[in-house]
């Protein structure tokens, strides 16, 4: 009981410090569990052993994240995604519904690197001038980009899936492969949502008396302002084949994922930017996108190692089991899946996966619910509502690029993202994923 109280206390302090920005997530994950272990009576030798065990499950994940971001950032700079983006914009024309669908599709393509920042930077500057010309609501733009981003973010090089895989000691790629049917279903739902948004916007524009005769393709967004000095259009097909090969090896082989991206990045750099000085500059350019989460991942290894190996999570789960009605415990992971959007929005991804998920796993394990089923259920809501979380830095990038207020974005977007997350969860339960 004492260890459980310490565990819940550490968890509460961690949430408050992160949410109120009193300390970084990395600091909380590294320092607070050690303090908790000391309060539970463990010595330095025991604590070091816990930490070492935690880090052995973490380092491969950290390397995977670094090289996957570098790979897709290289492909983005080389212009691999540009032809598809431009084709979608031209195809949309002045058709409001097609503009909405194009927004969703561009965001899906833009999020191939698993980084929200690049998705926003690819999609919003391209589409916002079109939305302004057509008098469309920029909040709809953020909704569609956020929805596609959240669903695409289930890829194994996306932050949440890596976090979830780390929390359960599972391979991130395998976790994603198991969720592919759910992800495809979610992407279809997002396209349907784009069509519905298009119809609603057409009705609003007609009611307000706007003329839809202007062609959106007359102004293809912000593409003219983008730096094209790194583009390698002549190497498009080579880059496409390389990317297809990388993804195919991830899905169909048992090669360690970080090795695939490591060699993929080296080959991509050699093909597109053979100059060593330029390669060095590009790696420095990509590093800010890698360092923050990598540091947090490694520090989370301390939290997971201490709480799991010291038995603190087990004690916390026992207290939770004693408090909840027995008939609810078996379905606790599904309850968390339903509430994942609001809970994930409030606390952010790090506490959600590294602190709460292990607790849920311990609680439902006696009922035959596997750790992967818990991960599948809890990934849905938090991922889909990623774009409205004030605990995620890229949320502010998105609202800044779109020129809207955060509170307006949350009020407009959250209810729809939460609904989509519940629809995806129901589908996951029906097909046996969650």
Domain boundaries, the chain: 1-209+230-431
Percentage of the residues of the chain whose pLDDT score is greater than 90? 34
Give the pLDDT confidence score for residue 224 in this predicted structure.
Answer: 43
pLDDT at 162 exceeding the cut of 50: yes
Q: How confident is the model at residue 413 (pLDDT cuts 50, 70, 90)?
A: very high
Scanning the structure block, which residue is given the tokens 């990317």? 243
Q: What is the pLDDT of residues 14-37, one digit of tens each?
A: 878 876 778 887 898 899 999 999
Out of 130-134, 143-147, 369-373, least confident range: 130-134
Give the pLDDT confidence score for residue 256 in this predicted structure.
Answer: 82
Cα(332)–Cα(334) distance, integer angstroms: 5
Q: How confident is the model at residue 322 (pLDDT cuts 50, 70, 90)?
A: confident
pLDDT at 219 exceeding the cut of 50: no
Which 3 state secondary structure label does DSSP give 385? coil
Q: What pTM did the predictor assign?
A: 0.67
Measured CA to CA in angstroms, residue 25 lies from 12, 218, 283, 294, 408 at distances of 13, 45, 25, 12, 27
Which 3 state secondary structure label does DSSP give 429? helix
pLDDT at 297 exceeding the cut of 90: no
Q: How confident is the model at residue 207 (pLDDT cuts 50, 70, 90)?
A: confident
Give the pLDDT confidence score for residue 211 in this predicted structure.
Answer: 65
**Cβ neighbours of residue 38 under 8 Å, at least 6 residues apart?**
47
Cα(245)–Cα(80) distance, integer angstroms: 14
pLDDT at 221 exceeding the cut of 50: no
């Amino acid at each position: 009981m004492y260890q459980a109280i310490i565990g819940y206390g550490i968890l509460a302090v961690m949430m408050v410090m992160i949410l109120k920005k009193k300390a970084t997530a990395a600091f909380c994950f590294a320092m607070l569990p050690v303090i908790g272990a000391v309060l539970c009576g463990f010595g330095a030798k025991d604590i070091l052993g816990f930490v070492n065990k935690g880090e052995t499950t973490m380092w491969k994940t950290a390397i995977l994240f670094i090289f996957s971001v570098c790979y897709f950032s290289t492909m983005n700079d080389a212009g691999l995604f540009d032809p598809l983006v431009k084709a979608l914009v031209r195809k949309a024309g002045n058709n409001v519904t097609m503009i909405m669908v194009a927004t969703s599709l561009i965001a899906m393509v833009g999020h191939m690197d698993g980084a929200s920042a690049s998705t926003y930077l690819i999609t919003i500057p391209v589409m916002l001038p079109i939305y302004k010309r057509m008098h469309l609501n920029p909040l709809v733009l953020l909704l569609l980009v956020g929805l596609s981003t959240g669903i695409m973010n289930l890829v194994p090089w996306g932050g949440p899936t890596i976090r979830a895989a780390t929390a359960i000691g599972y391979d991130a790629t395998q976790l994603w492969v198991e969720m592919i049917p759910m992800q495809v279903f979610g992407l279809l739902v997002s396209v349907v949502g784009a069509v519905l948004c298009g119809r609603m916007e057409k009705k609003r524009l007609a009611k307000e008396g706007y003329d839809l005769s202007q062609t959106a393709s007359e102004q293809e967004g912000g593409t003219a302002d983008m730096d094209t000095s790194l583009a390698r259009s002549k190497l498009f097909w080579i880059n496409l084949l390389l990317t297809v090969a990388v993804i195919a090896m991830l899905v169909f082989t048992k090669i360690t994922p970080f090795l695939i991206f490591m060699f993929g990045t080296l080959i991509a750099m050699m093909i597109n930017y053979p100059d060593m000085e330029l390669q060095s500059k590009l790696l420095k350019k990509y590093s800010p996108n890698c360092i923050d989460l990598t540091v947090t991942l490694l520090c989370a290894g301390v939290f997971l190692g201490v709480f799991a190996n010291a038995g603190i999570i087990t004690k916390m789960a026992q207290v939770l089991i004693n408090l909840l009605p027995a008939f609810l415990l078996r379905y606790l992971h599904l309850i968390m899946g339903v509430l994942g959007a609001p809970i994930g929005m409030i606390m952010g991804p790090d506490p959600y996966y590294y602190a709460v998920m292990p607790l849920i796993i311990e609680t439902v394990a006696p009922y035959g619910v596997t750790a992967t089923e818990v991960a599948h259920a809890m990934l849905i809501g938090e991922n889909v509502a990623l774009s409205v979380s004030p605990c995620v830095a890229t949320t502010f990038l998105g609202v800044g690029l779109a020129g809207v207020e955060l509170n307006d974005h949350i009020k407009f977007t959250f209810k729809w993202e939460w609904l989509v997350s519940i629809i995806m969860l129901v589908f996951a339960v029906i097909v046996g994923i969650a």
